[in-house]
Amino acid sequence: MTKTTVTRRGVLKSGATAGAGLALPTIFTASSAAAYMNEPTGGTVTLGFNVPQTGPYADEGADELRAYELAVEHLNGGGDGGMMNTFSSKALQGNGILGKKVQFVTGDTQTKSDAARASAKSMIEKDGAIMITGGSSSGVAIAVQGLCQEAGVIFMAGLTHSNDTTGKDKKANGFRHFFNAYMSGAALAPVLAAQYGTDRKAYHLTADYTWGWTQEESIKAATEALGWQTVNTVKTPLAATDFSSYIAPVLNSGADVLILNHYGGNMVNSLTNAVQFGLRDKMVNGKHFEIVVPLYSRLMAKGAGENVKGILGSTNWHWSLQDDASKAFVKSFGTKYGFPPSQAAHTVYCQTLLYADACERAGTFNPCGVAQALEGFEFDGLGNGKTLYRAADHQCFKDVLVVRGKENPTSEFDLLEVVEVTPAGQVTYPPDHPMFSGGMLGTCNAGA
Amino acid sequence: MDAFLLQILNGLDKGSAYALIALGLTLIFGTLGVVNFAHGALFMIGAFCAVTLQRLFTLSFETIDPTRTDFLGNPMKVKTPYIESWFGPDIGAAIIDWSVPLAVLFSIPIMLGIGYAMERGLIKHFYKRPHADQILVTFGLAIVLQEVVKYFFGANPIQTPAPAALRGSVDLGQMIGFQANAIIYPIWRLVYFFFAAGVIAAVFAFLQFTTFGMVVRAGMADRETVGLLGINIDRRFTIMFGIAAAVAGLAGVMYGPLNPPNYHMGMDFLVLSFVVVVVGGMGSLPGAVLAGFLLGVLESFASTTWATTTIPGINQIIIYLVAIIILLTRPRGLMGRKGVMED
Amino acid sequence: MLGLDKKDTTLLIIVALLTLGAPFILNPFPADSAMAQFNAGYPDLMQRFVIFGIFAIGFNILFGLTGYLSFGHAAFLGVGSYSAVWIFKLFTYNVLPAVALSVVVAGLFSLLMGFVSLRRSGIYFSILTLAFAQMSFALAYSVLSNPRFNLTNGETGLQVYADDPQLFHSDRLPDLPHLFGLSMRATYRLDLGGWSFDFNAGYYLCAVVLMAVFYLAIRIFRSPFGMMLRAVKSNQQRMNYTGLNTRPYTLAAFVISGMYAGLAGGLMAAMDPLAGAERMQWTASGEVVLMTILGGTGTLIGPVLGAGFIKYFENIFSKINDNVLHGWFGFLPDGLEDAMVFLVHPFIGKGWHLTLGILFMLVVIFLPGGLVEGGQRLGRWIRRRRGGKDGEAQRKTEPAE
Amino acid sequence: MGILEVKNVSKNFGGLKALSDVNLNVRENTVHAIIGPNGAGKSTLLNCLVGKLIPDTGSVMFDGQSVLGRKPFEINQMGISRVFQTPEIFGDLTVMENMLIPIFARRDGAFRMHAIESIRNEAGVIEQAEKMLIDMNMIDKRHMHAASMSRGDKRRLEIGMCLSQEPRLLLLDEPTAGMARADTNNTIDLLKQIKAERDITIAIIEHDMHVVFSLADRITVLAQGTPLVEDEPQNIRGNPKVREAYLGETA
């Protein structure tokens, strides 16, 4: 296949998508009068919240659901309004979306792409959801994003950190608010250099699947650009529960930094094991041995307990941020549930508001209209400073937090401290960056 | 050489957990003829005994400290464990610190009780049922147990740290003449290994040297004959079920400091423990122990850079590959008896 | 009819009526009533019922007839899905060649795996199949998705990209799996009063396939071959000393069930063109074991019932949240409403696993023959009641004579 | 020439000599009994004949062909059927199905993939099975589950299953073990009838002298893995070696 044919096929394909709708009264036709998939006809509009309710990420899923409920409450005019008051766009009235009361349905992704697609389909086919959002892994996000593209609804991805979500698997109907592996690397590397010097030898342990690889690639590139050497990169099975046999050789490898490209249960266990093996007490090459966890989440950090103390990583948002928006969100979430929100909660809350706002600004629920309103949208007041939804790949660009495990936590939630807020400009990359190459956004699909 | 020794150590350590779980599993199978898919859940419950005890020790009363504020800006509620106010902060903190070893004592009666209740309440009715039914009902039970634990403790892992005194690592290499940092090993992992060895030895001694054990062994060999002698073998088997549950539970309690327990850790170990039992030979106690350590060591070696560069992905499949090779070359596992579980 | 005796013909007709009428049967509640939560008649779930039904029917041919308990059949389902998606990627979105290739590839794969695993029996066989399946899963999830040789696309799942060759694709055809132009997503919605019913092309394709393979399963059950398989389960020793080589019989059963699994996998990809590795995990194999036992091992209809039961729970119970509960119990006084929600809460939504686990236990404890036995008992009970009445009537008439 | 010729067969289990240098010659259309005290090696010998065990040395020829190295099902296909000490039947299947299976095996060989045809259409096979059930006097039990029958019926069914294959050699391993006297006599009558009506060679291992002497044309006495004598029944009765072997009397 030559390059030109590939492009031609791509063009044909987008044409076909549009054409198919006309040629056959096919895809999920509810009534032929509807202008787009699941057009809300009554006084309500239904959103689909697709989060892991069972399986290892159930706690993150539960926190996402809490935030969704809070967002719906705020959209419908209840509660204290949360970040609606600080949001730079003032389109939202507190009377639902476009005057329709917001309802929601929930589904269980089980953190499996099949199950996630099944529950998303059920929300679209059965409950008439106009938008799907949520999730706690990149595999699920990409799978559901593809489905929403085919079905013709908007997908607002939840926790998904892989470059692919807005890289080779990007879709016109999908938007990501979360940051990604490249941004983690770009944000972390300067801080690492500042804290640990530029003459470091790094040893990577990487979860052996797509996200792990992109994470490793990103942080490796970012640290090597600053002068670090990479001693070894070792892949660990996703199903591994004990990392002792991967940690044990690290001390003898000549490395003086261990980078754990792990998430969730893998991260908790590998970090626990690394600390157990006394890595943090050692001096290697005349330097203090350090451990880095590129992607942090407070919920998971809690599982790792004392072991996170002093360990650097990046995160999307943290409740201790002192801007007005974050404070407003923490206040309204904390008042309702009694504890501060996680970054997962923050992300999905923002996305619900952003979707609603885009509908208001577009004046329609039509996915193509909404997508247009979101593309290139610049805003402020949702807790991460000035933020841009880039039109080219539907990735969101905003400040990234570099955090460190707190040495003296004052409460069970006070586990991380913000070391640096890396400005958006420093983590921005061109849409055709090699780590994000391949794949096409395509054209938006309205379904009907 | 030092890398080699290090992986042997790692293997023995992983193997300890495998062997303990497989020991109980094969004990239940050998005595009762029951395929127990809930055995992993017992391991998990053991670990949560430690979590529970830690929670009990840290039960706290709240006092309001007006000088500090919480995340919402309200006056901070400071929690003080009751135990610290009863015994004084030092002893109280020490008790909390030692909660995992104390949980060993706490868990034995609990696990025996759970095992006893499980056998009398459920398993007993399934002795004569097909293995498939046993699998379904114990699998159902495993799901119920883990969901109940999840309901109370959440899905995230929970730290159950070892006592501070046993938390660090020792430089074993230096002790035997290698250079510094060559063989660093965590103290708690050594404790776990010796603990496992002790438990295994105790189970074997119990079966070997007590009358009770003798009858059980005879029952494992030929249940009907022993029954004909007028010995109430069923009651003894019930107790054996309790013991098997306790062994799995102990494996779980002590495992907590190695890797923080979560509600699905039992399922993570379930497949593996069945592989261990089968590789060792169904119903063979020494086989289970041998296979546990063997697979632990092989798994450790397969995860070295040398192995994964020679055969990509070997660390993912080694356990299963070994199981296939052993089952094809030794039909009944390493030490299995003929005719067990072949129908 | 069709070479079946009266009882089997009746069974086949019942299955045909149930599958063809599923859009009505599964949507018994008006669309905007509170009970609509329990409606299962939307395309995706109906497809799933039928596809997992096919999977379980095939599994039952191996497990129900020969007694060989495989813990690795999900691997064949996964391989079937991957094959189908590769056809979509390379050649065409037409589902016919895709599903055909799924069956063939799964058949070859199961031939290989069966040839090795069937050298052992009992739990040793189970563990061998489990080991093979877990190896396949590990390979598909990570090893075979490395950038140089990406066969499975790992965690994300294999899917069709715009720059895939699709040699035989043309503009006139839908950009989704289709059968000679008829999109699998094509759905006709019938609104009748408060009710609405979905008639989906993909579902009806699956339903037709289900009827065909169900018919095939009946034929296999009633054939000398089927009898031989039951004989293998009953007494292998006697088989050997009767001049019968059990290995090819079990291998044939293994391959047939593997092909059923491949067919299910292919259809799954045809309904939704994405193949994820977790379909191959041991828990997925365990699920089909549970479906079969739950429905009734060795019975014809049992596995289909078991599949429906489990999928219904997974998709319906997991979607009930506290909001829905408050809706249901809204008619109660506030305190009572909250109490009811509190009581039911652990069993729905994120607690659906708990409910399923409890139901497994209840079914297997009280209905050793699975749901089919439940049905038979119910049938006997009704007959006895009716018979009882007849008997009474007779007794009453007797004195008159 | 005998139909079954065993020459110099030895078999050791570890250090234990189960068979040493056994010779046996079973003539066509006779009933040949093999007797001997417990542990004489009778069962080991039988297992060597049907392919369950492979002798360490020696040869076993059936109708001029070696059976050694062949699997049990192949040896059965050569024309040897075996009846077990405890009846081996298909307990989960009906009596009729039990009878159908050996007939299919005889007609179609060790494996045939007839997965679509219905059994109901196999009129010829069904007819044969019914005929054999009538011969075995159990046609009224055809729909019963085989496992639910009495032991005597199971034994009869098993013999019927073996006969339906029209074997040239029928091996019986203690066919009356554990049976009541009446059942034993029925079995003897059945075997006598078979012997009378069919062209068949029977080799029988038996403990019960009553059975042996009512059926056998020739007898081989086995002791400690070696044949003591092979002779006609009347000569065996008084043989001192046999008495010694059985009763442990000193010569």
Mean pLDDT of C55-73: 95
Please give the share of chain C, as a percent, with pLDDT higher than 90.
56
- Count Cβ atoms within 10 A of the Cβ of residue D78 and give its class: 0-12 exposed, 13-18 middle, 19 or more buried: middle
Q: Are D62 and D79 in contact (CB under 8 A)?
A: yes
Provide, as residue numbers in chain D, all residues whose Cβ is less than 8 Å from the Cβ of C237: 84, 88
Q: Are B317 and B271 in contact (CB under 8 A)?
A: no
Q: Tell whether A6 lies on the interface with C, counting CB pairs under 8 A.
A: yes
CA distance C353 to A259: 36
CA distance B240 to chain A (A): 29
Say yes or no for a CB contact (<8 Å) between A106 and C42.
Answer: no
Would the pLDDT of B122 be above 70? yes
D248 — pLDDT class (breaks 50, 70, 90): low
Q: Are C40 and C221 in contact (CB under 8 A)?
A: no
Count of other CB atoms within 10 angstroms of residue D150: 9
CA distance A211 to A117: 19
3-state secondary structure B132-170: HHHHHHHHHHHHHHHHHHHHHHCCCCCCCCCCHHHCCEE
C1 — pLDDT class (breaks 50, 70, 90): low
Partners of A207 in the β-ladder: A236
CA distance D95 to D100: 9
Chains A and D touch (3+ CB pairs under 8 A): no
Helix (H/G/I), strand (E/B), else coil: C32 = coil
Provide, as residue numbers in chain D, all residues whose Cβ is less than 8 Å from the Cβ of C4: 118
CA distance A330 to A336: 10
B140 in a structural domain: yes
- Structural domain boundaries enclosing B24: 2-56+100-329
Fold held by D4-79+167-247: Rossmann fold (3.40.50)
D50-95 pLDDT, tens digit per residue, is: 988 889 999 999 999 999 989 999 999 999 999 998 899 999 999 9
CA distance C236 to chain B (A): 9
The answer to which of A117-131, B114-128, B292-306, B325-339 has the lowest mean pLDDT is B325-339
Select the residue of C120, C127, C361 nearest B275 (Cβ to Cβ). Answer: C127
Say yes or no for a CB contact (<8 Å) between A146 and C159.
Answer: yes
Provide, as residue numbers in chain C, all residues whose Cβ is less than 8 Å from the Cβ of B35: 123
pTM: 0.91
CA distance D240 to chain C (A): 37
Would the pLDDT of A130 be above 60? yes
Chains B and A touch (3+ CB pairs under 8 A): yes
Provide, as residue numbers in chain C, all residues whose Cβ is less than 8 Å from the Cβ of D113: 225, 252
pLDDT at C321: 82
Alpha helices in chain B (DSSP H): 2-32, 39-57, 82-87, 89-97, 99-121, 131-153, 172-175, 187-209, 211-221, 223-228, 233-255, 265-280, 285-302, 305-310, 314-329
B14-35 pLDDT, tens digit per residue, is: 999 999 999 999 888 888 888 8
Provide, as residue numbers in chain B, all residues whose Cβ is less than 8 Å from the Cβ of C286: 139
CA distance B43 to B276: 15
What are the C-alpha distances in Å from C36 to residues A123, C192, C289? 13, 15, 30
Would the pLDDT of C394 be above 60? no
Q: Tell whether A112 lies on the interface with C, counting CB pairs under 8 A.
A: yes
> Residue C12: which of C247, C167, C219 has the closest Cα?
C219
CA distance C176 to A52: 28
A191-244 pLDDT, tens digit per residue, is: 999 999 999 999 999 998 888 989 999 999 999 999 999 999 999 988 888 999
- Identify which has the larger pLDDT, B69 or B340: B69
Say yes or no for a CB contact (<8 Å) between C234 and D92.
Answer: yes
User: Mean pLDDT of all residues in chain A?
Assistant: 88
Would the pLDDT of B273 be above 60? yes
CA distance C226 to chain B (A): 19
B85 in a structural domain: no
- Domains annotated on chain A, with CATH: 6-179+320-393 (3.40.50.2300), 182-315 (3.40.50.2300)
* C neighbours by CB contacts (3+ pairs under 8 Å): A, B, D
A263-292 pLDDT, tens digit per residue, is: 988 999 999 999 999 888 888 888 999 999
Radius of gyration of chain C (CA): 24
C348-366 pLDDT, tens digit per residue, is: 888 888 988 998 899 888 9
Tokens describing residue B194: 């010796």
> What is the DSSP-derived secondary structure letter of residue A436?
G
Closest chain A residue to the Cα of C188, Cα to Cα: A29
Q: Tell whether B91 lies on the interface with C, counting CB pairs under 8 A.
A: no
Say yes or no for a CB contact (<8 Å) between B343 and C131.
Answer: no
Provide, as residue numbers in chain B, all residues whose Cβ is less than 8 Å from the Cβ of A266: none
Please give the share of chain A, as a percent, with pLDDT higher than 90.
69
Select the residue of B71, B186, B299 nearest A319 (Cβ to Cβ). Answer: B71
Delimit the domains of chain C by residue range.
Answer: 6-281
Give which of D83, D88, D158 to mutate to test C binding, by max C Cβ within 10 Å.
D88
Q: Are C84 and C77 in contact (CB under 8 A)?
A: no
What are the C-alpha distances in Å from D37 to residues A380, C27, D77, D206, D246? 99, 74, 31, 10, 6
Provide, as residue numbers in chain B, all residues whose Cβ is less than 8 Å from the Cβ of C351: 147, 151
* D neighbours by CB contacts (3+ pairs under 8 Å): C
The residue whose two tokens read 């303990």 is B20
B43 in a structural domain: yes
Q: Are B169 and B185 in contact (CB under 8 A)?
A: yes
CATH code 3.40.50.300 region(s) in chain D: 4-79+167-247
User: Residue C317: what residue type?
Assistant: F
pLDDT at D92: 92
Mean pLDDT of A122-145: 92
Provide, as residue numbers in chain D, all residues whose Cβ is less than 8 Å from the Cβ of C225: 112-115
D182-218 pLDDT, tens digit per residue, is: 888 888 888 999 988 888 999 999 878 888 888 899 9
CA distance D69 to chain C (A): 15
B94 in a structural domain: no
Q: Are A127 and A49 in contact (CB under 8 A)?
A: no
Say yes or no for a CB contact (<8 Å) between C293 and B133.
Answer: yes
Q: What is the count of structural domains for chain B?
A: 1
Say yes or no for a CB contact (<8 Å) between C234 and D90.
Answer: yes
For residues C263-295, one letter each, b for 16 or more C-beta atoms within 10 angstroms of the residue's C-beta and e for the rest, the string is bbbbbbbbbbbbbbbbbbbbebbbbbbbbbbbb
Q: Tell whether D229 lies on the interface with C, counting CB pairs under 8 A.
A: no
CA distance D65 to C87: 53
D1 — pLDDT class (breaks 50, 70, 90): low
> Residue A315: which of A294, A339, A301, A292 has the closest Cα?
A294
B214 in a structural domain: yes
pLDDT at A396: 95
C6-281 CATH, one of 1.10.3470, 1.20.58, 2.20.25, 1.10.110: 1.10.3470
Would the pLDDT of B177 be above 80? no
Closest chain C residue to the Cα of D160, Cα to Cα: C242
CA distance A373 to chain C (A): 25
CA distance B38 to B54: 24
pLDDT at D60: 93
Mean pLDDT is highest, among A385-394, C122-131, D230-239, for A385-394
Would the pLDDT of C391 be above 70? no
Closest chain C residue to the Cα of B267, Cα to Cα: C283
For residues A234-272, one letter each, b for 16 or more C-beta atoms within 10 angstroms of the residue's C-beta and e for the rest, the string is bbbbbbbbbbbbbbbbbbbbebbbbbbbbbbbbbbbbbb
Mean pLDDT of B70-77: 80
CA distance B55 to B152: 12
Count of other CB atoms within 10 angstroms of residue B236: 17
CA distance D204 to chain C (A): 16
Say yes or no for a CB contact (<8 Å) between C240 and D71.
Answer: yes
Report ipTM (2 d.p.).
0.89
B215-250 pLDDT, tens digit per residue, is: 878 777 776 666 666 667 778 888 889 999 999 999
Would the pLDDT of A373 be above 90? yes
CA distance C210 to C206: 6
